Structure 1
Amino acid sequence: MFSKNDWKNRRVLILGLARSGTEAAYLLHQLGADVTVNDSLAFDENELAQELQSLGIRTVCGSHPPELIEEKPEVLVKNPGIRYDHELVQKAVEAGIPIITEVEAAYDAAPCDMIGITGSNGKTTTTTYIHEMLKGSSRQPLLAGNIGETASKVVRQASSDHVMVTELSSFQLMGTVNFRPNVAVLLNIADAHLDYHGSKEAYIEAKAMLFRNQTESDTLVYNADDPIVCSMVESAPSIKIPFSTKKKLADGACLFDGWLWLHGEKLVRETDFSLPGSYNIANGLAAAAAAAAAGAELEQIKSVLRQFGGVEHRLQHVMVWKERTFFNNSKATNVPAAVTSLQAFTQPVILIAGGLDRGLSFDGLIPEMSNVHGLISYGETACKLLEAGESAGVPERHQTETLEKAVELAIDVSREGDVILLSPACASWDQFSTFEERGRTFIHAVEQATGKKAGNHT
Structure 2
Amino acid sequence: MKTLQQFPYRRVLVLGLAKSGTAAADLLLDSGIPVRINDWKATKEDPAVRSLEERGAELILGSHPSSALDGIDLVVKNPGIPYENPMVEAAMEKDIPIITEIELAGMLHEGPVVAITGSNGKTTTTTLIDAMLDASECRSRIAGNIGEVAVEVARETTHDDTLVVELSSFQLLGIESFRPNISVLLNIFEAHLDYHKTLENYQEAKARIFMNQSEGDFLVYNADDPVIERFIGNANGTLVPFSVTRKVEGAYVEGGTVYFNDEPILERSEIVLVGDHNLENILAAIAASKLAGASTEGIRNILTTFTGVPHRLQFVSKFNDRLFYNDSKATNILATSKALRAFEQPVILLAGGLDRGNGFDELIPYLDHVKALVVFGETAEKIKDAGRKAGIDTIEKVDNVEQAALMSYKLSEAGDVILLSPACASWDQYKTFEDRGHMFVQAVHKLK
TM-score, normalised via structure 1 length: 0.89
Query: Take 2:212 and 2:280, find their aligned partners in 1: how far apart are those partners?
Result: 25
Q: Which residue of 2 aligns with 1:27?
A: 27
Spell out, residue by residue over 1:217-243, the C-alpha distance to the aligned partner (whole angstroms, 9 max, x if none). 211101111122122222422222100
In structure 2, what is the Cα distance between the partners aligned to 1:133 and 1:127? Answer: 10
Which residue of 2 is the match for residue 214 of structure 1?
Answer: 213
Q: Which residue does 2:16 correspond to in 1? A: 16
The worse-fitting range, judged by mean Cα deviation, of 16-25 and 314-323 is: 314-323
Shift of 1:328: 0.5
Comparing 378-387 with 186-195, greater Cα deviation is found at: 378-387
Separation of aligned partners in 2, 1:369 and 1:203: 28
Does the CA contact (< 8 Å) of 1:125 and 1:283 recur in 2?
yes
Contact residue 3 and residue 110 of structure 1 kept, 8 A: no
1:276 is aligned to 2:268: no
Is contact 2:135-2:301 (8 Å) kept? Answer: no
Question: Aligned-pair distance for 1:165?
Answer: 0.9
Q: Which amino acid aligns with 2:95?
A: G
1:383 Cα shift? 6.1
Give the corresponding residue for 1:244: 243
SS of corresponding position for 1:234: helix
Is the 2:253–2:259 Cα contact (8 Å) retained in structure 1? yes
Say whether 1:367 aligns with 2:380: no
Alignment of 1:50-449 (within 5 A): 50-71=50-71, 73-249=72-248, 251-355=249-353, 361-378=359-376, 385=383, 388-394=386-392, 396-428=394-426, 431-449=429-447
* CA positional deviation for 1:184: 0.6
Give 3-state SS (helix, strand or coil) of 2:38's partner. strand
Displacement of 1:110: 0.9
Please report how far the alpha carbon of residue 405 of structure 1 lies from its aligned counterpart in structure 2 after TM superposition.
Answer: 4.3
Pairs aligned (count): 448
Return 229-238 or 109-118, whichever deviates more.
229-238
Cα distance in 1 for partners of 2:328, 2:241 equals 31
Tell me, what secondary structure is at the counterpart of 1:276? coil
Q: CA deviation at 1:47?
A: 4.0
Give the whole-Å Cα distance in 1 for the aligned partners of 2:167 and 2:276. 23
* Residue 244 to residue 409, structure 1, CA distance change in 2 (3 Å): same
2:434 & 2:77 partners in 1: Cα distance? 27
Do 1:328 and 1:422's aligned partners in 2 also have CA atoms closer than 8 Å?
yes
Alignment correspondent of 1:456: none
Contact 2:323/2:417 (8 A) holds in 1: yes
- In the TM superposition, residue 53 of structure 1 has moved relative to its aligned partner by 0.8
What is the RMSD computed on CA atoms of the aligned residues?
2.6
Q: Aligned partners of 2:285 and 2:356: how far apart in 1?
A: 36
Q: Is the 8 A contact 1:138 1:295 kept in 2?
A: no
Secondary structure at the aligned position of 2:177 is classed as coil
The aligned counterpart of 1:454 is none
Structure 2 unaligned blocks of 5 or more: none
Give the SS at the match of 1:210: helix
- State the shift of 1:291 in Å: 0.9
Deviations 1:352-372 (A, max 9, x none): 334566776444443322112
Structure 2 Cα separation of the partners of residues 234 and 199 of structure 1:
21
Moved more, 401-410 or 28-37: 401-410
* Contact preservation (8 Å) 2:276, 2:338: no
Aligned residue in 2 for 1:37? 37
Q: Is the 8 A contact 1:8 1:32 kept in 2?
A: no
Structure 1 counterpart of 2:350, one-letter code: I
Amino acid in the other structure paired with 1:36: R
Between the aligned partners of 2:83 and 2:353, the Cα distance in structure 1 is: 32
- 1:2 touches 1:110 (CA, 8 Å); kept in 2? no
Given the two structures, how large is their TM-score scaled by the length of structure 2?
0.91
Instruction: Name whichever of 337-346 and 291-300 sits farther off.
Output: 337-346
Residue 152 of structure 2 aligns to which amino acid in structure 1?
Answer: K
Q: 1:361 to 1:27 in 2, by over 3 A?
A: same
Paired residue type of 2:421: S
Deviation at 1:399, TM superposition (A): 4.9
Distance 1:16 1:400 in 2: 36
Q: What displacement does 1:148 show?
A: 0.7
Contact persistence 1:140–1:162 (CA under 8 A): yes
Q: Give the residue type in structure 2 aligned to 1:26.
A: D
Extract unaligned runs of 5+ from structure 1.
451-458
Rounded Cα–Cα distance in structure 2 between residues aligned with 1:216 and 1:388 = 48
The CA deviation at 1:283 is: 0.7
Contact 2:377 2:400 in 1 (8 A): yes
Separation in structure 2 between the aligned mates of residue 245 and residue 123 of structure 1, nearest angstrom: 17
- CA distance in 2 between counterparts of 1:392 and 1:321 reads 28
**Contact 1:7-1:28 at 8 Å conserved across structures:** no
Deviates more, 1:59-68 or 1:239-248: 59-68
C-alpha contact 2:3 2:30 (8 A) present in aligned 1 = no
1:180–1:444 CA distance, 2 compared to 1 (3 A): same
User: Using a 3 Å threshold, how does the CA distance of structure 1 residues 41 and 416 change in structure 2: closer, same or farther?
Assistant: closer
Change in CA separation of 1:55 and 1:8 when aligned onto 2, cut-off 3 Å: farther
Query: 2-side partners of 1:37 and 1:104: how far apart?
Result: 18
For 1:297-354, what per-residue CA distance to the aligned partner results, in whole angstroms no more than 9, with x for missing partners? 2112122222222221121111233443211112234444322321221222122334
Q: Tell me if the contact between 1:106 and 1:155 (Cα under 8 Å) persists in the aligned partners.
A: yes
Say whether the 8 Å CA contact 1:126–1:283 is kept in structure 2.
yes
